[in-house]
Structure 1
Amino acid sequence: MTTDRTGVVVVGAGIAGVACAQELRRAGVPVEIHERARVVGGRMASKRFDGRPADLGAAYFTVSDPDFAEEVARWQGVGLAREWTDTFLAYGEQGRRTVSGPLRWAAPGGLRSLVEHLARDLPVRVNRLVLDVAPGPAVDGRSCQAVVLAMPGPQAALLLDPALTAATEALAAQRWSPALAAVLRFPARRWPDFRGAFVNDHPVLRLVCDDGDRRGDQAPVLVAHTTGQFAEGHLAQPTAAAPAVEAAVRDLLGLPDPAVAVHLHRWRYAQPMAGDPATFHLDEAGIGLAGDAFGAQPRVQTAWRSGRDLGRALAQRLA
């Protein structure tokens, strides 16, 4: 590697960006992560309410990749991850039924704690807003050997110089759906035992999780995720949707008591609607793209694998 340029700049400290930076660091490639938020985590976000974390982004994760399973075992070994459930409820035209699926994992300290653990030895610059990625490549006028954009495609596209055509075209193919996440805190647990519920064909709700059960502390907290169509109508003022979301949750579960507090979080780009069959993008201009938009299905595991694979490819190219 030449010595007059920064190695790799990773923009975005979600699990894809952090996994990419990990691989580069292991290979001896200089790397730094720029994150516009004040903490790492991306869409594995959690927020504390009265000292207790609640997950605002991903609701859980599943494991099928052997390499990811090794990472999860390390998290479990230090108490950061726990097996949660393989059984959800499903609400739809056929009423309420129980559905089984893969084992879902949760994190007692919130899913963001897993990303924090991965990033603990990495050079992360938080509150660092990147404005421009230009040919060279260069980040905000600073030359580097490669740039990784680990974020939803529409956000990454805003940073790219139009001359970076290969990455621009890869991002243009992505389609994303929004969502609102609502944390509803109640005076007591007055709902039936259900862990989590998929809600089908509902005008407001897509998913509701018992966050007390998910966290393992039995706190009277529910987290609801709305449909993309409902979120589209409330992106400008998401807090105004709180009464409708609360009413929908209480009606679904037959709750007699109103919530003590409702917190709404807007995800303008919550979920990719179609995955790229490749696990990452890396072009001759030195621009890499990673995240859950790459791979078969938009999952935490998919994002981790995307970042890991891109990091290895870049390390092979640069080392």
Structure 2
Amino acid sequence: MTVDVTVVGGGISGLACARAVQDAGRSVRVLDRGRRVGGRLASRTIDGRAVDLGASYFVVGEAERFGHLVADWEERGLARPWTDTFAVIDADGGQTPKPGPMRWAAPLGSRSLTLDLAEGLDVVSEHVVERVEPYRVDGRDAGEVVLAMPAPQAARLTGEAPGGAQDWEPVIAVMLRWDDRQWDADLHGAFADGDADVSFLADDGDRRGDGAPVLVVHTTADRARRHLDDPDAAIAPVVAATRRLLRIDADPVAARAHRWTFARPVEATGEPFFRSPGLSACGDAWGESAAVRTAWSSGDALGRALAAS
């Protein structure tokens, strides 16, 4: 059955787009290559516990429609205010508080937010798309086609990324677990200032609210580029940097690495989405700055535009 809109990509942007289309009374289908939706809002069950290996947090800011969604998530226990203060850690391990906007997190793992958005949608998982063109996916009629993915991935399906080429940086996220907490109780998350290996560290137990002695550490783009073919090779330098930055005496008892080849756009486009007849695009690169709220807002705005056209 041909639908009005086919969304390729089941991350938060693609799901927001599909949700807006369906809420407007149009038919929509989401095709995603993963076993479950989520994209870079990824939670992976490790040692019986969900660990957030994708986006570290989200901020509402002035995104009013996204704010209404977050308020609903909070009311239903899917989202919680986490912290408005991170630390900046220098090369010697010295820490300086860095106040900012309220950062939000998901007690059940960030994937739970995308699963909530996908509820009631026609989602086809483990579906690998080979070729996309206006109004067609893999040679079949697909209605309006939306690419909700990083531009380099979109270019593989179309020959040229909708809206033009965009540069993206890689990240390797490393989960580190100790038997007991080894860092200061008031360290929610921290930016590593100028470190060659680590860019950000998050206390996943504090973020999730269960107190687990787990850190999720994001590498720098340079460190990630060295290990895209073998992400586990990034674990040793990340452990060494984390122990040095947080002045931890013991090695973790468990460690896992996850590769994000296209983790974040180097620069956002400034436009809310890309729209052309039969083939459009949305995501966190479309907007003023790359962020979870940008991804949702981009998909939501495109979905409403498609439904109205």
Q: Corresponding residue for 1:85?
A: 83
Shift of 1:11: 0.4
For the Cα contact (< 8 Å) 1:212–1:220, is it kept in 2? yes
Deviations 1:108-151 (A, max 9, x none): 1111100100111101111000000124x210111122100000
1:294 aligned to which of 267, 286, 295: 286
Q: Corresponding residue for 1:165?
A: none
For the Cα contact (< 8 Å) 2:88–2:193, is it kept in 1? yes
Q: Could you say what secondary structure the match of 2:142 adopts?
A: strand
Q: Could you say what secondary structure the match of 1:54 adopts?
A: strand
Measure the CA separation in 2 of the matches of 1:235 and 1:38.
22
For the Cα contact (< 8 Å) 2:270–2:288, is it kept in 1? yes
- Aligned residue pairs, count: 306
Letter in 2 for 1:288: S
Measure the CA separation in 1 of the matches of 2:142 and 2:66.
29
Q: Corresponding residue for 1:34?
A: 31
Measure the CA separation in 2 of the matches of 1:120 and 1:132.
27
Letter in 1 for 2:200: L
Letter in 2 for 1:36: R
Instruction: Provide structure 2 residue ranges, at least 5 long, that are not aligned to the other structure.
Output: none
Aligned counterparts, 1:1-319, within 5 A: 5-64=2-61, 65-92=63-90, 95-135=94-134, 137-161=135-159, 168=161, 170-172=163-165, 174-193=166-185, 194-284=187-277, 286-317=278-309
For the Cα contact (< 8 Å) 2:162–2:281, is it kept in 1? no
Shift of 1:93: 6.2
For the Cα contact (< 8 Å) 1:154–1:171, is it kept in 2? no
Measure the CA separation in 2 of the matches of 1:278 and 1:134.
22
Letter in 1 for 2:52: D
Deviations 1:248-304 (A, max 9, x none): 1111111112111110000000000110111100112x1110000000111000000
For the Cα contact (< 8 Å) 1:206–1:225, is it kept in 2? yes
Measure the CA separation in 2 of the matches of 1:258 and 1:161.
46
More moved, 217-226 vs 186-195: 186-195
Letter in 1 for 2:152: P
More moved, 184-193 vs 299-308: 184-193
Measure the CA separation in 2 of the matches of 1:100 and 1:88.
6
Q: What's the % identity of the aligned pairs? A: 47
Deviations 1:72-126 (A, max 9, x none): 0110011000011001110236942111000000101111100100111101111
Q: Indicate how the Cα distance of structure 1 residues 169 and 81 shifts in structure 2: closer, same or farther if over 3 A, else same.
A: closer
Q: Could you say what secondary structure the match of 1:6 adopts?
A: coil
Deviations 1:189-224 (A, max 9, x none): 121120100112110000001111111111110000
Letter in 1 for 2:140: R
Measure the CA separation in 1 of the matches of 2:198 and 2:285.
23
Shift of 1:169: 5.5
Measure the CA separation in 1 of the matches of 2:117 and 2:182.
37
For the Cα contact (< 8 Å) 2:201–2:217, is it kept in 1? yes
Q: Could you say what secondary structure the match of 2:78 adopts?
A: coil
Measure the CA separation in 2 of the matches of 1:238 and 1:282.
36
Measure the CA separation in 1 of the matches of 2:220 and 2:53.
15
Measure the CA separation in 1 of the matches of 2:184 and 2:159.
53
Measure the CA separation in 1 of the matches of 2:211 and 2:162.
47
Instruction: Provide structure 1 residue ranges, at least 5 long, that are not aligned to the other structure.
Output: 163-167
Measure the CA separation in 2 of the matches of 1:262 and 1:293.
30
Runs of 4+ residues deviating >4 angstroms: none
Letter in 1 for 2:295: A
Measure the CA separation in 1 of the matches of 2:105 and 2:164.
30
For the Cα contact (< 8 Å) 1:156–1:171, is it kept in 2? no
Measure the CA separation in 2 of the matches of 1:243 and 1:155.
29
Q: Tell me the TM-score normalised to structure 2 length.
A: 0.96
Q: Could you say what secondary structure the match of 2:304 adopts?
A: helix
Shift of 1:170: 1.3
Letter in 2 for 1:81: A
Shift of 1:50: 2.1
Measure the CA separation in 1 of the matches of 2:234 and 2:155.
29
Letter in 2 for 1:141: G
Task: Quote the RMSD (CA, aligned, Å).
Answer: 1.3
Letter in 2 for 1:111: S
